[in-house]
Structure 1
């Protein structure tokens, strides 16, 4: 073994097996380093007990090893081994390549959909832990590791306890991080699974706002929640606001279970995903036929038979249009087209709208061009897709008056009476 002294961070070869490569983090009772198991040739995380931390801390350290060793879940860090070296207990843990949630939130908050996805996975993990009779008691961003693909892994069971077992905790002794303690923990009561649900609610609020709900000194942070409930920000999906308020209720009996939280947060995540999926179903771009290639052979002149078929087709088209117009008579001269008066640049037109051309209002008789392929819908900061501009047939919309309509009524019909030709 090669270390500077018994209380420093391990270096070199630890326990004649683990080659230390670097420092990962430290807590009140232990140091965590990255190492390679030279026997199995795999990377691991070594959590080594700090000498002089006290007998109670050593007991908690051993409890963490026993607790994690009996649990196998994708949302937990796996324990490979537990032992002693140079009078220092140590744990060999699965190495999670990624930052903690605290590191992520230092850069920027999460969108509601991302927070709901994170909360769904963590709530499922807590439900598994609670099902084995274990309360974590220290759910916080620093104890949540973000692994491959953004999957959260709940770590640090050093202060966990079995339900109904208070052997490690002294009477009246509060265990956990003050900023995330449930009100009943502050009052000195034993933590039940509802305390983990409360802490997860505070973690999700911090994910959305980027700040701790109860900051300040430890005593101030602990006492603040006895005087006010957490503030759930507005502008969130209604279902997300509702579940966050329920998770952080003062009375632990009124809070939902971890599995109930996972179900509701899963609905929030699914709803956000449905909105994004719906926004991606855009109409296909309008494809216009290409003009004939200049080198192509000229079309053959129409034969008399072709001319007769063309006249018949034109007559059928006129009959169809006359039936749709309703009120037009055969033999009537086509209505004269009077152009709309041009409005001055930047000023209002006769209908009261500005003369600035709008890309979403097509000219009369020309279908609106659809968004180009690959164009993604605009999104807001919450990650929800913003509604796109209305397209033809999607519902009522306000358009500029048709240029083929002199009086601006937008129906495309000429209102000036037209006299039918007199037969001579």
Structure 2
């Protein structure tokens, strides 16, 4: 059996297949690294279902790290780890797996829309997620991918924080070599964005995510929940010394448009969205404040919160976006930047390019944002296939729907590249020049790996299936009903094998 068929084998497990002490009932969904099944324990079928997550790739070390993280956390808002082990494929390849508590629930944003969530319900839900984060942080760990799709709401209204696959705990080995840890761009903290901008050409650097990053992501989740919008634009710029800074817009105008929002909820969201990591406080402090607000709020807190929103908000004027906030450092007018470069172009970071510096002339308008936004997603696939002697890349789906527990990628398997017969039409949709750091075809016009397409002097890879809107929100190129991201050349140095406390 070829390596490709071995790696795809877990997605083909049929009902009745036994994995350790568990029997597969049905497949629930597939992500980049794991396949989630509903299963039951052999001989104890009446005890109810569990979520069994099986690695797509043999010996994937991410599973050992996720097991290590989940084993450190005991909290009612975190799925309980039931067991783990190795499943041997017929070829002899061993795929790690683990088993978790089954969570019958609805993703947060969908639940809020379906149930016309009240302010009191939102206060309690966010408090429960904060308690789950507090338990995680107390275990010297970070989640690193807090977002609406990774928060489920049970029928009784209780929240569960899921998918710790991107998480990290102190002492865990570093598994990737990209600058930032795995995560979703729209929920990324200002300090992480600054690090990425400053190190875009230094790929061997890495950002040690902290509890403050999780709290900012929770703030974005809460903001999106109560306003129906992602955060307004952040505007990065370089000063005379070529140091990067961020102009963070004021989210208060959007929050103040809803008269039914409890002041404590508004204050909590604004605190989480502080530019200063220290100003965000701790998850335990947030949970305590939200719980107290939910308990003492008046009857108006039981009215539907989301239905009271104002019409679709317009983009904030730059003057309003830069209004002073106690936790935000806004440069005085005379220090206003002469140019602005876009952040990753994904939901919540729809920045406008006001000017370009000379060293960006290699890319067309907006292409640096495309490159930075695609670096993390493309590197993940490059890293995964490098061990198999291939070069390729893949995408990161923004805030994708969650399949059962522990995997937030779409249920469809990765699609292979399909080269359209009318390459001329496709080439017209691509940038006229390769992007900085993009893989180039060889002298024969061939890109490395079977899944890369050579167009306009650069190599491109088809992403997971998505709509034209989703593709555009990522800053990628949509052509011939397919979404393409630039394939990036991996760094020359391998990732370190040591295990520093802040490694990814």
| Per-residue deviation, residues 148-191 of structure 1 (Å, max 9, x unmatched) | 51211111111111247672343623421111111222233321
1:50 to 2:72 alignment: no
Q: Work out which structure has the larger RCO, using CA pairs closer than 8 Å and 6 or more positions apart in sequence.
A: 2
Which residue of structure 1 aligns with residue 227 of structure 2? Answer: 209
Which residue of structure 1 aligns with residue 74 of structure 2? Answer: 72
Aligned residue pairs: how many? 270
Give the alignment partner of residue 299 of structure 2, picking from 257, 263, 275.
275
1:75 Cα shift?
1.1
Measured in 2, the distance between the counterparts of 1:185 and 1:4 equals 33
Which residue of structure 2 aligns with residue 382 of structure 1? Answer: 305
1:88 to 2:95 alignment: yes
1:20-419 correspondence to structure 2 within 5 Å: 20-41=24-45, 42=47, 43-51=49-57, 58-85=60-87, 86=89, 87-105=94-112, 107=114, 110-163=117-170, 167-170=174-177, 172-188=179-195, 189-213=207-231, 227-231=248-252, 232-234=254-256, 235=259, 236-272=261-297, 274-275=298-299, 380-382=303-305
Measured in 2, the distance between the counterparts of 1:112 and 1:242 equals 13
Measured in 2, the distance between the counterparts of 1:80 and 1:33 equals 14
| Per-residue deviation, residues 205-260 of structure 1 (Å, max 9, x unmatched) | 12212343369xxxxxxx99865354542122222211111110111111121111
Measured in 2, the distance between the counterparts of 1:145 and 1:224 equals 35
Q: What is the aligned-residue RMSD (CA, Å)?
A: 3.2
SS in 2 for 1:21: strand
Which residue of structure 1 aligns with residue 446 of structure 2? Answer: none
The question of whether the paired residues in 2 share the 8 Å contact of 1:75 and 1:122 is answered with yes
Measured in 2, the distance between the counterparts of 1:251 and 1:165 equals 27
Measured in 2, the distance between the counterparts of 1:105 and 1:382 equals 9
Gaps of 5+ in 1: 216-222, 278-378, 385-424
| Per-residue deviation, residues 379-424 of structure 1 (Å, max 9, x unmatched) | 743399xxxxxxxxxxxxxxxxxxxxxxxxxxxxxxxxxxxxxxxx
SS in 2 for 1:82: strand
Which residue of structure 1 aligns with residue 440 of structure 2? Answer: none
Pair 140,39 (structure 1): closer, same or farther in 2 beyond 3 Å = same
The question of whether the paired residues in 2 share the 8 Å contact of 1:229 and 1:250 is answered with no
Pair 39,187 (structure 1): closer, same or farther in 2 beyond 3 Å = farther
1:15 Cα shift?
1.9
Pair 125,84 (structure 1): closer, same or farther in 2 beyond 3 Å = same
The question of whether the paired residues in 1 share the 8 Å contact of 2:190 and 2:246 is answered with yes
Measured in 1, the distance between the counterparts of 2:182 and 2:191 equals 12
| Per-residue deviation, residues 311-363 of structure 1 (Å, max 9, x unmatched) | xxxxxxxxxxxxxxxxxxxxxxxxxxxxxxxxxxxxxxxxxxxxxxxxxxxxx
Greater Cα radius of gyration, structure 1 or 2: 1
Gaps of 5+ in 2: 1-5, 196-206, 234-243, 308-504
The question of whether the paired residues in 2 share the 8 Å contact of 1:117 and 1:269 is answered with yes
Measured in 2, the distance between the counterparts of 1:15 and 1:241 equals 47
Q: Which moved more, 1:250-259 or 1:156-165?
A: 156-165
Measured in 1, the distance between the counterparts of 2:103 and 2:249 equals 37
Measured in 1, the distance between the counterparts of 2:164 and 2:276 equals 25
SS in 2 for 1:150: coil
